[in-house]
Amino acid sequence: MRVFLENVMNFPTLGEAYRIAALNIVTKHANTLARQPESRVKNLIEQAELN
């Protein structure tokens, strides 16, 4: 009985799974936004070097 209760109580709920998935999406989106200005600057530098 003790093993059953330990395993059931340690199993994440569906709500917890959705919360973790949402946090992962937010983190990936934030990382994507953080990289965009760098790539714009890099593109401008490359364009200036080509001209």
Q: Evaluate whether residue 23 is within a structural domain.
A: yes
For residue 50, give both structure tokens.
Answer: 């080509």
Domain of residue 20, residue span: 13-50
Q: Evaluate whether residue 19 is within a structural domain.
A: yes
Q: Which residue has the tokens 């093993």?
A: 3
Q: Evaluate whether residue 17 is within a structural domain.
A: yes
Give the model's pLDDT for residue 51: 62
Q: Evaluate whether residue 3 is within a structural domain.
A: no
Entry pTM: 0.48
Q: For the chain, what is the domain count?
A: 1
Kind and range of the H or E element at 3? helix 2-10
Give the model's pLDDT for residue 36: 65
Q: Evaluate whether residue 28 is within a structural domain.
A: yes
CB atoms within 10 A of CB 48: 8
| Alpha carbon of residue 37 to chain centroid | 18
Q: Per-residue pLDDT tens for 2-45?
A: 887 777 776 778 888 888 899 899 888 888 777 766 677 777 78
Rounded Cα gap, residues 38 and 46, in angstroms = 12
User: What is the end-to-end Cα distance of the chain in Å, rounded?
Assistant: 75
